[in-house]
Amino acid sequence: MVAAGRGDREAFADLIERHQGAVIQFIFRFLGTVGRDTAEDLAQDVFLKAWTSARSYRPKAKVLTWLLHLARNTALNYRRGQRLRRTVPLEHAGERAAAGPADAGAASAERAAEVQAAIAALPDKQRATIILRHYLGLAYTDIAETQGVSIAAVESLLFRARDSLRTSLGPPQRKDESAPQVSAPSGAEHLREDKVPCCDVERSED
Nearer to another protein, 59 or 197 (CB): 197
Q: How far, in Å, CA of 93 to CA of 170, rounded?
A: 26
| Choices 62-70, 71-79, 81-89, 196-204; region in contact with another protein by CB under 8 A | 196-204
Angle at 97 between CA 95 and CA 103, to 5 degrees: 120
Nearer to another protein, 85 or 174 (CB): 174
Among 44, 57, 61, 62, binds another protein (CB under 8 A): 44
Size of the site for another protein (CB under 8 A): 79
Among 81, 100, 123, 148, binds another protein (CB under 8 A): 100
Closest distance to another protein from the beta carbon of 84 (Å) = 25
In this structure, are residues 153 and 144 in contact, taking their beta carbons and an 8 Å threshold?
yes
Answer yes or no whether residue 171 interacts with another protein by CB under 8 A.
yes
Answer yes or no whether residue 134 interacts with another protein by CB under 8 A.
yes
Q: Give the Å distances, CA to CA, from 78 to 26, 35, 185.
A: 14, 13, 46
Task: Provide DSSP, 12-26.
Answer: HHHHHHHHHHHHHHH
Answer yes or no whether residue 148 interacts with another protein by CB under 8 A.
no
Nearer to another protein, 58 or 86 (CB): 58
Q: How far, in Å, CA of 93 to CA of 97, rounded?
A: 6
